[in-house]
């Protein structure tokens, strides 16, 4: 291993145009450059040329298994993450890809790390797969307590530390571009940013979000703008909800991370399903209403110690869904206290997120 210029390979859901994963990659690359200025960074990407150009890194086509193997052979350290990679709710094929990268790395006697991930959902086959393929991974960091508990059970020989999502370390770089400023209109109109995606109960989600959007406009004068962090699929879901709302909310086009972050920082509040919409809201102290399509969203809310209950959850619960009117009233009435709570929680998470990068030293 060349300690003066180590090669670090990043494996994640990169190059697909998902703003949350793009945010993760951008922050991880920035932090690695700051901590290891001479390191050579390589990214397994669905669009390697685009990734290489945007981030000034080396990039390898993730679907080319021979190229992937060569990238692992060249690397000193392989980081699997961040994100929610070790789960088979998406598909077993997806899980096999990510654990396959880790097993290939450990078989090649490389330093491998499960990096800033949420673990699960995993069924019985998924748990056996993670245990079998990742048994020789020495180190893992996870971004919520539930993931730490699960991974510790699956990989008892692995050192598993609780950290936080690297996007808590994001530093804004620019303002909302002119196109967005023109679309949004006057700065004195309070905004709510809405980030939704497909879910197991799309009709229920649509009714609750449309109701909240209308109540925010009618009772608090807050204008809602839908922002598709996940691209076209999120835009389709957003359009369905917009058609149900009476208050004529806007649908914004997709944008880069800097514009999305500046937009969220400008808003009065956020209604979010996408994890990184909520993380950026917390990062800027913007109160939110969370919809938990995945356990990682619930885990974030719990780890932030956020006072408001979930607006909706796909996970079974013994309690009824909270009344939308009550939630809208509370986020208006308790806005300043909620913002202060998020700023305190985000600072704890920022410190925890730095730990992800400190631990890479132990591999080098």
> Is 258 within the bounds of a domain?
yes
Q: What is the pLDDT of residue 183?
A: 60
Of the chain, the end-to-end C-alpha distance in Å amounts to 8
- CA-to-CA separations, 8 to 37, 50, 226, in angstroms, rounded: 12, 19, 37
Q: Which is more confidently placed, 281 or 363?
A: 281
- Other Cβ atoms within 10 Å of 86 Cβ, number: 30
> Is 318 within the bounds of a domain?
yes
Q: How confident is the model at residue 319 (pLDDT cuts 50, 70, 90)?
A: confident
Share the mean pLDDT of the chain: 93
Q: Tell me the C-alpha distance between 217 and 223, whole Å.
A: 6
Q: How confident is the model at residue 338 (pLDDT cuts 50, 70, 90)?
A: very high
Q: What is the pLDDT of residue 246?
A: 96
Q: What is the pLDDT of residue 316?
A: 80
Q: What is the pLDDT of residue 179?
A: 61
> Is 214 within the bounds of a domain?
yes
Number of domains in the chain: 2
Query: Residue 78 maps to which CATH number?
Result: 3.40.1190.20
Q: Select from 162, 189, 209 the last residue of a domain.
A: 162
Tell me the residue range of the domain where 124 lies.
7-162
H helices present in 17-123, as ranges: 19-35, 48-55, 65-74, 92-107
User: Is this structure's pTM higher than 0.85?
Assistant: yes
And the tokens for 72? 């692992």
Q: What is the pLDDT of residue 5?
A: 86
pLDDT over threshold 90, residue 98: yes
Q: What is the pLDDT of residue 254?
A: 85
Q: 37-51, 120-134, 174-188 — which is least confidently predicted? A: 174-188
Q: How confident is the model at residue 181 (pLDDT cuts 50, 70, 90)?
A: low
Same-domain pairing of 152 and 27: yes
Same-domain pairing of 188 and 152: no
Q: Which residue has the tokens 């392989």?
A: 78
Q: Tell me the C-alpha distance between 227 and 250, whole Å.
A: 9
Same-domain pairing of 335 and 187: yes
Q: What is the pLDDT of residue 188?
A: 74
Same-domain pairing of 151 and 209: no
Best CA proximity match to 37, nearest among 27, 45, 46, 29: 29
Q: What is the pLDDT of residue 39?
A: 96
> Is 343 within the bounds of a domain?
yes
> Is 107 within the bounds of a domain?
yes
Q: Tell me the C-alpha distance between 301 and 305, whole Å.
A: 6
Q: What is the pLDDT of residue 189?
A: 85
Q: How confident is the model at residue 3 (pLDDT cuts 50, 70, 90)?
A: low
Q: What is the pLDDT of residue 90?
A: 85
> Is 56 within the bounds of a domain?
yes
> Is 133 within the bounds of a domain?
yes
H helices present in 79-225, as ranges: 92-107, 124-133, 145-154, 178-184, 202-220
pLDDT digit string, tens, across residues 73-95: 999 999 999 999 999 988 999 99
Q: What is the pLDDT of residue 173?
A: 74
Pairing assessment for the beta strands 77-80 and 288-292 based on DSSP bridges: unpaired
Query: Residue 201 maps to which CATH number?
Result: 3.40.50.2000
- CA-to-CA separations, 77 to 116, 126, 224, 235, 324, in angstroms, rounded: 15, 25, 44, 37, 47
Q: Tell me the C-alpha distance between 358 and 351, whole Å.
A: 11
> Is 363 within the bounds of a domain?
no
pLDDT digit string, tens, across residues 9-21: 999 999 998 899 9
Q: Tell me the C-alpha distance between 60 and 234, whole Å.
A: 27
């Amino acid at each position: 291993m060349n300690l003066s210029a180590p090669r670090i390979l990043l494996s994640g859901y990169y190059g697909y145009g998902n703003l949350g994963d793009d945010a993760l990659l951008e922050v991880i690359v920035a932090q690695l450059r700051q901590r290891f200025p001479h390191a050579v960074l390589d990214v397994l990407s669905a669009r390697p040329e685009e990734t290489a150009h945007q981030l000034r890194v080396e990039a390898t086509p993730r679907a080319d298994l021979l190229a992937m193997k060569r990238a692992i052979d060249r690397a000193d350290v392989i980081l699997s993450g961040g994100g929610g990679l070790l789960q088979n709710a998406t598909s077993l094929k997806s899980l096999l890809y990510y654990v396959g990268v880790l097993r290939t790395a450990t078989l090649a006697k490389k330093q491998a790390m499960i990096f800033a991930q949420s673990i699960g959902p995993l069924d019985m086959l998924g748990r056996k797969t993670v245990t079998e393929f990742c048994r020789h991974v020495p180190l893992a960091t996870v971004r919520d307590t539930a993931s730490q508990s699960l991974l510790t059970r699956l990989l008892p020989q692995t050192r598993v530390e609780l950290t936080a999502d690297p996007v808590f370390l994001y530093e804004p770089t620019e303002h909302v571009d002119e196109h967005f400023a023109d679309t949004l209109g006057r700065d004195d109109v309070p905004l709510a940013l809405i980030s939704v995606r497909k879910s197991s109960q799309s009709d229920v989600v649509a009714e609750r979000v449309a109701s909240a959007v209308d109540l925010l406009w009618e009772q608090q004068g807050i204008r809602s703008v839908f922002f598709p962090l996940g691209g076209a699929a999120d835009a389709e879901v957003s359009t369905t909800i917009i058609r149900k709302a009476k208050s004529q909310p806007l649908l914004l086009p997709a944008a880069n991370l800097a514009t999305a972050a500046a937009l969220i920082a400008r808003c009065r509040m956020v209604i979010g399903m996408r994890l990184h919409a909520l993380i950026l809201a917390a990062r800027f102290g913007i109160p939110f209403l969370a919809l938990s399509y995945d356990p990682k969203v619930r885990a974030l809310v719990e780890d932030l110690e956020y006072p408001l209950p979930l607006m909706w959850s796909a996970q079974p619960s013994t309690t009824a869904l909270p009344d939308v009117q009550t939630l809208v009233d509370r986020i208006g009435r308790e806005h300043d206290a909620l913002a202060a709570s998020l700023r305190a929680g985000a600072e704890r998470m920022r410190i925890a997120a730095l730990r992800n990068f400190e631990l890479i030293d132990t591999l080098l």
